[in-house]
Amino acid sequence: MNLILIPIVLPIAAALALLLICEKTKYIKELLAAGAAIVSLLAAANIFLQPPADLTLRWFGSAAFTLHADNLSAFLLLAVSLFSAAISVYSFSNPAKGPAKWFFFNLLMTQGFAAGAALADNMVAMLFFWEGLLVFLYTFIALSQNNHAARRTAMKAFLINGVTDLCLLVGITITAYIAGTASMSEIARNKLTLEYGWAVFAYVLLMIGAVSKAGAFPFHTWIPDAATDSSATFMAYVPAAIDKLLGIYFLARASVYLFALNQTMSLVLMTLGAVTILVAVMMAFVQKDYKRLLSYHAVSQTGYMILGIGTLNPIGIAGGLFHMINHATYKSCLFMTSGAVERQAGTTDLSKLGGLFRAMPVTGLCFVIAAAAISGIAPLNGFFSKELVYKGALDTGYTVFFIAAEIGSFLTLASFLKLGHSVYFGDRPENLKETKEAPFSMLLPMLTLAGICLAFGFGAELPLNWLIVPSLAGMSIPNPTMSGFHLDKLYFVSVIVILAAVINHLIGLAAGGGKADKASDHIHYAPVLKETYALAERRAFDIYELGMDKAVPFVSRLLFKADRFFDWAIDALPSGVAGFLGGSVNRFHNGSYPLYMALTLIGAVVYILLAGGLK
């Protein structure tokens, strides 16, 4: 058996085996899930180090479904397996994850399908795995809590992703049609250009599919809702890690590997990235809930990756991919800390938390490292990837994107200052006096991920040379000159941003009367922003809610009317006609023998006349 199958088949087999285990058993499910995830991780590492031969399955003789581990796929597979292993260990003693059986089932299924999507060379096969993820996204959210809100959010996530997956489906169909093959490696040998016919349309559809998976504006709206209605574990796994990895992976594939983009499309992507950064971070800044705040950041950080890939120059793309893995690391870690706090303190409301650093020093430490990383403080990993994105953006000549990214950075740091201050520092409320540190099984993955943040920061050469450069080489992009920690003007800009954020935080604290959770109020309730925020809180900018409130009732009424009409046309009309005809036929069957005889004789006479050739 080819090694390449293990990361796909093993989690799925384990997930199905899980269903056989009784819900009451302790630790068997957890051990099985963690074991499967860890074995898959080892297999993924093996695949990464020694890429195995392609596995080709032929279907109907022509279409070949190939599993192909090139550098980028292997890198992605490794990342997916790593986060699965981390989350499965983390969930060992996390109670807030819904029924354990279903949680691990969804986790392993998601892992298996994500691995499949990463390894599939054929776009149709990839779409199969991609759509499989959609199913488990729904069950994951719907089963994480047993209430109406969870199911509603699950449906929202399902519908948003379903629509964009449909775009992806159409895009893939058109692309395959234009290229004459659905195999990505074959298309890459002769890249498509946007000049040709429907290519622009196809690319835009592929892009929509990719960025909505990554959770970019305006397809992000289910993520904050999921943060409140689902578990921290889910957030740490799916929106923070798997979705970002796959979305950005495919965006990179589509933008660099399959299509040769032009300047306009590059601008579109960069604008999308910048808008995502700004909108989401503005929202994140004013949040009053630990998980919700993090979820907006998950959206905002996607903007950097899209911006990086949108620059289309090697440094920017390298930055985007590097940011992808970094973001998954620290955002997963941050959501894990939120889960730990929720488990230990019982709430994630910022106004009810405070001073937990003493009670939960390890969690606090992980939070600080990850928060510093996401805020881009040197020399952590987020700093380097952001620097690369900035540099890529500057190299395109459009300074405006650089400025937008920097403003994003500023607000990110400001919001994490507020978050850290209100959760881990300041005064501890009375009811949290007894709070203890989270259990070891939760700390271990957090520490691992925080360690990776540090390692990728201090030794930034290592992941760049080992992970990113080969990935770019796999997409036949020339090796960019990337230095790790470089003291150019960007460094000073970032220092200025840090200082500005600290000053802003202090101003906010002063304005908020010393309460850390109110440190954003001076912006939240600023003259114009206040109304905007109020509208945003009422979900006035949420295309899903808008659609559900306005468009859907209208369309469904329209469809209802059309359906009534068709019903009538199908039901009433033929039955009326048939009833009329049947009735008139019936009138001839009144049981009267003379009538029958007459009918028969007339028929016979006509028959004989006609049979004789009379016409």
Partner 1 sequence: MDKGLLAYLLIPLLSAVIIPFAARNRPRLADILANVTLLAGLVNIAWMVLRPSVVADGFADIPGDMLFPLLLVGAIYLVALCVTFFSAWFMEEGQPNRAAYYSLILASVSAMTGVVTTTDFFTLYVFIEVLAVTSFALITTDDSRGGIEGALKYFFLTFPASALIIAGISILLIVLGDLQFETLRIFMASDVPPGPAVFAAALIMLGFLIKAGVVPFHAWTPDAYQGAYAPVSAHLAGIVTKISGVYAIVKLGTLLRFFDGRASALSEMVMFLGLLSIAVGALAALRQKDFKRMLAFSSISQVGYIVLAAGLGTPLAVIGAVFHLFNHATFKTVLFLNSASVEKSAGTTDMEKLGGLEHSMPWTSWTSVIALLSTAGVPPLSGFWSKLLIILALWEAGLRGYAGLALLFSIVTLAYFMVMQRKIFFGRKSQAAESAPEVSAPLLAPAVLMSAVIVALGLLFPYFYTYVKMVAERIIL
Query: What sections of 459-520 are H helices per DSSP?
Result: 461-463, 469-474, 489-511
For residues 526 and 605, which CB has a smaller minimum distance to partner 1 in the complex? 605
For residues 60 and 593, which CB has a smaller minimum distance to partner 1 in the complex? 593
For residues 180 and 603, which CB has a smaller minimum distance to partner 1 in the complex? 603
Q: How far is the CB of 564 from partner 1 (least distance, A)?
A: 20
Q: How far is the CB of 575 from partner 1 (least distance, A)?
A: 8
Binding residues (CB under 8 A) for partner 1: these are 575, 578-579, 581-583, 585-586, 588-589, 591, 593, 595-597, 599-604, 607-608, 610-613, 615
Q: Look at the chain and count its residues.
A: 615
Q: How far is the CB of 116 from partner 1 (least distance, A)?
A: 34
Residue 573, judged by CB atoms within 10 A of its CB (0-12, 13-18, 19+), counts as: exposed
For residues 479 and 592, which CB has a smaller minimum distance to partner 1 in the complex? 592
Distances (CA, A) of 144 to 1, 16, 98, 111, 495: 35, 18, 4, 17, 41
With a CB cutoff of 8 Å and minimum separation 6, the contacts of 143 are 98, 99, 102, 103, 106, 150
Q: How far is the CB of 581 from partner 1 (least distance, A)?
A: 5
For residues 527 and 591, which CB has a smaller minimum distance to partner 1 in the complex? 591
For residues 532 and 575, which CB has a smaller minimum distance to partner 1 in the complex? 575
Q: How far apart are CA 199 and CA 258, in angstroms?
A: 11
End-to-end C-alpha distance for the chain, whole angstroms: 77
Q: How far is the CB of 592 from partner 1 (least distance, A)?
A: 9
Q: How far apart are CA 379 and CA 390, in angstroms?
A: 16
For residues 513 and 613, which CB has a smaller minimum distance to partner 1 in the complex? 613
Q: How far is the CB of 572 from partner 1 (least distance, A)?
A: 13
Structure tokens at 380: 């952590």
For residues 1 and 585, which CB has a smaller minimum distance to partner 1 in the complex? 585
Q: How far is the CB of 613 from partner 1 (least distance, A)?
A: 5
Asked if residue 110 lies in contact with residue 144, where contact means CB atoms within 8 angstroms, the answer is: no
Which residue bears the tokens 């540190």? 437
User: What 3-state class would DSSP assign to 289?
Assistant: strand
Query: What sections of 428-488 are H helices per DSSP?
Result: 440-458, 461-463, 469-474
Q: At what angle do helices 243-252 and 199-214 cross, to 10 degrees?
A: 160
Q: How far apart are CA 324 and CA 79, in angstroms?
A: 10
Q: How far is the CB of 255 from partner 1 (least distance, A)?
A: 47
